[in-house]
Amino acid sequence: MNKAVRLGTALAAAALAVVGAAWPASASTTVFADDFESGSVSAWTRQRVDGNGSITVAPAPGGGSGSAARFSVPDDGASYRAEVAVNALGWGSYRFALADYLPADWVQTPTETILAQWHGYPLADGSDTKPPIALTVKDGSWRLKVHWLVDPSTVDEAVIPLGSVQFGHWNQWAFDVTWSTPTTPGAITVYRDGVQVGSYSGLNNYHQNQAPYFKTGIYRANWNPAKGIPYPTGGPDVVAWSDSVTVTQF
Protein backbone atom coordinates (compact mmCIF):
# COMPACT_ATOMS: atom_id res chain seq x y z
CA MET A 1 0.00 0.00 0.00
CA ASN A 2 1.23 3.48 -0.84
CA LYS A 3 2.59 4.98 2.35
CA ALA A 4 0.87 8.31 1.76
CA VAL A 5 -2.42 6.42 2.15
CA ARG A 6 -1.28 5.08 5.54
CA LEU A 7 -0.46 8.39 7.21
CA GLY A 8 -3.80 8.48 9.03
CA THR A 9 -7.43 8.97 8.05
CA ALA A 10 -7.29 12.71 7.37
CA LEU A 11 -3.99 12.60 5.51
CA ALA A 12 -5.07 9.59 3.49
CA ALA A 13 -8.11 11.44 2.17
CA ALA A 14 -5.96 14.43 1.29
CA ALA A 15 -3.33 12.27 -0.39
CA LEU A 16 -5.91 10.59 -2.59
CA ALA A 17 -7.37 13.97 -3.50
CA VAL A 18 -3.93 15.26 -4.50
CA VAL A 19 -3.27 12.26 -6.70
CA GLY A 20 -6.41 13.05 -8.66
CA ALA A 21 -6.05 16.82 -8.64
CA ALA A 22 -5.72 18.05 -12.22
CA TRP A 23 -3.56 15.04 -13.07
CA PRO A 24 -2.41 15.30 -16.69
CA ALA A 25 -4.20 12.98 -19.10
CA SER A 26 -0.97 11.75 -20.69
CA ALA A 27 0.92 8.70 -19.48
CA SER A 28 3.19 9.22 -16.48
CA THR A 29 6.31 7.50 -15.18
CA THR A 30 7.69 7.47 -11.64
CA VAL A 31 11.33 8.56 -11.80
CA PHE A 32 12.12 8.77 -8.07
CA ALA A 33 10.43 7.64 -4.86
CA ASP A 34 11.38 7.23 -1.20
CA ASP A 35 9.11 6.59 1.78
CA PHE A 36 12.09 6.15 4.17
CA GLU A 37 10.90 2.68 5.23
CA SER A 38 14.43 1.48 4.47
CA GLY A 39 15.48 3.22 7.69
CA SER A 40 17.98 5.44 5.87
CA VAL A 41 18.26 8.24 3.30
CA SER A 42 20.48 6.14 1.02
CA ALA A 43 18.06 6.51 -1.92
CA TRP A 44 19.07 10.17 -2.20
CA THR A 45 22.08 11.20 -4.24
CA ARG A 46 23.62 13.18 -1.42
CA GLN A 47 23.04 14.52 2.05
CA ARG A 48 24.40 17.78 3.42
CA VAL A 49 24.60 19.14 6.96
CA ASP A 50 26.22 22.55 7.52
CA GLY A 51 27.06 22.99 11.18
CA ASN A 52 25.89 20.67 13.92
CA GLY A 53 22.52 19.56 12.60
CA SER A 54 21.39 16.05 11.76
CA ILE A 55 19.45 13.94 9.27
CA THR A 56 17.90 10.78 10.69
CA VAL A 57 15.06 8.38 9.98
CA ALA A 58 12.68 7.85 12.90
CA PRO A 59 9.04 6.92 13.63
CA ALA A 60 6.76 9.50 12.02
CA PRO A 61 5.20 11.91 14.53
CA GLY A 62 1.75 13.48 14.64
CA GLY A 63 -0.33 10.48 13.68
CA GLY A 64 1.93 9.46 10.82
CA SER A 65 2.66 5.85 10.03
CA GLY A 66 5.97 4.05 9.69
CA SER A 67 9.19 5.99 9.34
CA ALA A 68 9.97 9.50 8.11
CA ALA A 69 13.06 11.64 7.61
CA ARG A 70 13.79 14.00 10.50
CA PHE A 71 15.87 17.13 9.86
CA SER A 72 17.26 19.17 12.74
CA VAL A 73 19.26 22.42 12.78
CA PRO A 74 20.37 23.85 16.17
CA ASP A 75 20.22 27.57 16.89
CA ASP A 76 23.92 27.75 17.77
CA GLY A 77 25.28 30.47 15.50
CA ALA A 78 27.06 27.94 13.27
CA SER A 79 24.34 25.66 11.84
CA TYR A 80 21.98 26.45 8.98
CA ARG A 81 21.35 23.41 6.77
CA ALA A 82 20.25 19.77 6.89
CA GLU A 83 19.02 18.53 3.48
CA VAL A 84 18.91 15.54 1.16
CA ALA A 85 19.05 15.93 -2.62
CA VAL A 86 18.48 13.91 -5.77
CA ASN A 87 20.31 14.67 -9.01
CA ALA A 88 18.61 16.53 -11.85
CA LEU A 89 15.94 14.44 -13.54
CA GLY A 90 15.85 16.29 -16.86
CA TRP A 91 13.74 18.93 -18.56
CA GLY A 92 10.02 18.61 -19.22
CA SER A 93 7.01 18.26 -16.91
CA TYR A 94 6.99 16.61 -13.49
CA ARG A 95 4.83 16.16 -10.42
CA PHE A 96 6.82 16.38 -7.18
CA ALA A 97 4.67 14.94 -4.37
CA LEU A 98 5.75 14.81 -0.74
CA ALA A 99 4.45 15.01 2.80
CA ASP A 100 5.98 17.33 5.38
CA TYR A 101 5.36 18.09 9.03
CA LEU A 102 6.28 21.09 11.18
CA PRO A 103 5.95 20.36 14.90
CA ALA A 104 3.37 22.17 17.03
CA ASP A 105 6.19 23.89 18.95
CA TRP A 106 7.76 25.38 15.80
CA VAL A 107 8.96 28.91 16.61
CA GLN A 108 7.46 31.38 14.14
CA THR A 109 10.04 33.85 12.87
CA PRO A 110 10.54 36.37 10.06
CA THR A 111 13.71 34.41 9.22
CA GLU A 112 12.71 32.48 6.11
CA THR A 113 13.09 28.70 6.20
CA ILE A 114 13.26 26.63 3.01
CA LEU A 115 11.62 23.20 3.36
CA ALA A 116 11.95 22.09 -0.27
CA GLN A 117 13.81 23.59 -3.20
CA TRP A 118 14.69 23.03 -6.82
CA HIS A 119 18.23 24.29 -7.13
CA GLY A 120 20.32 25.47 -10.06
CA TYR A 121 24.05 25.76 -10.61
CA PRO A 122 26.60 28.60 -10.46
CA LEU A 123 26.05 31.35 -13.00
CA ALA A 124 28.35 32.06 -15.92
CA ASP A 125 30.47 34.35 -13.76
CA GLY A 126 30.85 31.58 -11.14
CA SER A 127 28.56 33.15 -8.56
CA ASP A 128 26.00 31.16 -6.63
CA THR A 129 22.38 32.18 -6.89
CA LYS A 130 18.96 31.63 -5.39
CA PRO A 131 17.05 28.39 -6.07
CA PRO A 132 14.81 28.66 -9.13
CA ILE A 133 11.89 27.36 -7.02
CA ALA A 134 11.63 27.16 -3.23
CA LEU A 135 8.90 26.22 -0.75
CA THR A 136 9.41 28.41 2.30
CA VAL A 137 7.91 29.27 5.68
CA LYS A 138 8.01 32.82 7.01
CA ASP A 139 6.02 34.28 9.93
CA GLY A 140 3.70 31.27 9.97
CA SER A 141 2.85 31.41 6.26
CA TRP A 142 3.74 29.17 3.32
CA ARG A 143 5.26 30.84 0.25
CA LEU A 144 6.54 29.66 -3.11
CA LYS A 145 9.44 31.70 -4.46
CA VAL A 146 10.38 31.56 -8.15
CA HIS A 147 13.60 32.99 -9.61
CA TRP A 148 14.85 33.52 -13.16
CA LEU A 149 17.54 35.47 -14.99
CA VAL A 150 16.86 38.92 -16.37
CA ASP A 151 20.37 39.01 -17.83
CA PRO A 152 23.44 36.76 -17.31
CA SER A 153 23.99 38.04 -13.77
CA THR A 154 20.66 39.56 -12.59
CA VAL A 155 17.98 37.44 -10.91
CA ASP A 156 14.31 38.41 -10.67
CA GLU A 157 11.80 36.95 -8.21
CA ALA A 158 8.10 36.16 -7.84
CA VAL A 159 6.54 35.26 -4.49
CA ILE A 160 3.30 33.25 -4.46
CA PRO A 161 1.46 33.04 -1.10
CA LEU A 162 0.26 29.51 -0.28
CA GLY A 163 -1.69 30.10 2.95
CA SER A 164 -1.12 29.75 6.67
CA VAL A 165 0.89 26.94 8.19
CA GLN A 166 -0.99 24.38 10.24
CA PHE A 167 1.60 23.25 12.77
CA GLY A 168 1.48 19.70 14.11
CA HIS A 169 -0.10 18.57 10.81
CA TRP A 170 1.11 16.40 7.95
CA ASN A 171 0.81 18.40 4.73
CA GLN A 172 0.41 16.43 1.51
CA TRP A 173 1.96 18.55 -1.26
CA ALA A 174 1.96 18.19 -5.03
CA PHE A 175 3.93 20.54 -7.29
CA ASP A 176 3.23 20.22 -11.00
CA VAL A 177 6.25 21.81 -12.68
CA THR A 178 6.83 22.38 -16.37
CA TRP A 179 10.29 23.84 -16.80
CA SER A 180 10.56 26.92 -18.98
CA THR A 181 13.00 27.10 -21.87
CA PRO A 182 14.67 30.18 -23.39
CA THR A 183 11.74 30.40 -25.85
CA THR A 184 8.75 28.93 -23.96
CA PRO A 185 7.18 29.83 -20.61
CA GLY A 186 6.99 27.31 -17.81
CA ALA A 187 4.21 26.61 -15.33
CA ILE A 188 3.85 25.63 -11.68
CA THR A 189 0.65 24.49 -9.93
CA VAL A 190 0.71 23.79 -6.19
CA TYR A 191 -1.72 21.59 -4.25
CA ARG A 192 -1.84 21.13 -0.49
CA ASP A 193 -4.05 18.44 1.02
CA GLY A 194 -5.90 18.04 -2.26
CA VAL A 195 -6.67 21.72 -2.80
CA GLN A 196 -4.95 24.02 -5.30
CA VAL A 197 -3.27 26.77 -3.30
CA GLY A 198 -1.10 28.54 -5.86
CA SER A 199 0.00 28.78 -9.48
CA TYR A 200 2.57 30.55 -11.61
CA SER A 201 3.27 30.90 -15.33
CA GLY A 202 6.48 32.23 -16.86
CA LEU A 203 10.21 31.76 -16.60
CA ASN A 204 11.05 29.44 -13.69
CA ASN A 205 14.75 28.57 -13.93
CA TYR A 206 18.07 29.82 -15.30
CA HIS A 207 18.07 27.72 -18.51
CA GLN A 208 21.37 26.05 -17.69
CA ASN A 209 22.81 22.87 -19.17
CA GLN A 210 20.96 20.71 -16.64
CA ALA A 211 17.51 21.04 -15.14
CA PRO A 212 17.35 22.10 -11.47
CA TYR A 213 17.73 19.31 -8.93
CA PHE A 214 15.38 18.65 -6.00
CA LYS A 215 16.16 18.95 -2.29
CA THR A 216 14.12 18.65 0.90
CA GLY A 217 14.96 19.32 4.54
CA ILE A 218 15.82 22.57 6.32
CA TYR A 219 17.79 25.53 4.96
CA ARG A 220 18.00 28.89 6.76
CA ALA A 221 20.20 31.05 4.59
CA ASN A 222 20.31 33.96 7.05
CA TRP A 223 21.86 31.67 9.68
CA ASN A 224 24.88 31.01 7.45
CA PRO A 225 27.80 32.59 9.35
CA ALA A 226 29.41 33.53 6.02
CA LYS A 227 26.61 36.05 5.43
CA GLY A 228 27.49 37.95 8.61
CA ILE A 229 23.84 38.58 9.55
CA PRO A 230 23.51 38.91 13.33
CA TYR A 231 20.67 37.07 15.08
CA PRO A 232 19.97 35.93 18.65
CA THR A 233 21.03 32.34 19.33
CA GLY A 234 20.21 29.79 21.98
CA GLY A 235 16.64 29.01 20.94
CA PRO A 236 15.27 25.50 20.36
CA ASP A 237 16.44 23.38 17.47
CA VAL A 238 14.59 23.83 14.19
CA VAL A 239 13.01 20.46 13.35
CA ALA A 240 11.05 19.40 10.26
CA TRP A 241 9.98 16.04 8.86
CA SER A 242 9.56 14.76 5.28
CA ASP A 243 7.94 11.60 3.98
CA SER A 244 6.42 9.87 0.96
CA VAL A 245 8.43 11.61 -1.75
CA THR A 246 7.42 10.66 -5.30
CA VAL A 247 8.53 12.33 -8.53
CA THR A 248 6.53 11.50 -11.64
CA GLN A 249 7.27 12.63 -15.19
CA PHE A 250 4.36 13.27 -17.49
Decide if pLDDT at 8 tops 60: no
Question: What mean pLDDT value characterizes the chain?
Answer: 92
CB atoms inside a 10 Å sphere around CB 108: 13
pLDDT in tens, 208-233: 999 999 999 999 999 999 999 999 99
pLDDT of residue 125: 84
Query: pLDDT band at residue 198, thresholds of 50, 70 and 90?
Result: very high
pLDDT at 6 over 50: no
Under the banding of pLDDT at 50, 70 and 90, the label for residue 82 is very high
Give CATH for domain 3-249.
2.60.120.200
Q: Which residue has the higher pLDDT, 25 or 114?
A: 114
Mean of pLDDT values over 92-113: 97
- Under the banding of pLDDT at 50, 70 and 90, the label for residue 9 is very low
Q: Domain ranges for the chain, please list them.
A: 3-249
pLDDT higher than threshold 60 for residue 10: no
Confidence class of residue 24 from pLDDT cuts 50, 70 and 90? low
From CA 71, how far away is CA 49, in angstroms rounded?
A: 9
28, 250 contact by CB (below 8 A):
yes
Q: 3-state SS of the chain?
A: CCHHHHCCHHHHHHHHHHHHCCCCCCCCEEEEEECCCCCCCCCCCEEEEECCCEEEEEECCCCCCCEEEEEEECCCCCCCEEEEEECCCCCCEEEEEEEEEECCCCCCCCCCEEEEEEECCCCCCCCCCCCCEEEEEECCEEEEEEEEEEECCEEEEEEEEEEECCCCEEEEEEEEEECCCCCCCEEEEEEECCEEEEEEEECCCCCCCCCCEEEEEEECHHHCHHHCCCCCCCCCCEEEEEEEEEEEEC
pLDDT of 152 reads 87
Q: Identity (one letter) of the amino acid at 212?
A: P
What pLDDT is stored for residue 21 in this prediction? 60
> What is the reported pLDDT for 63?
93
What is the mean pLDDT of the segment spanning 137-154?
A: 95
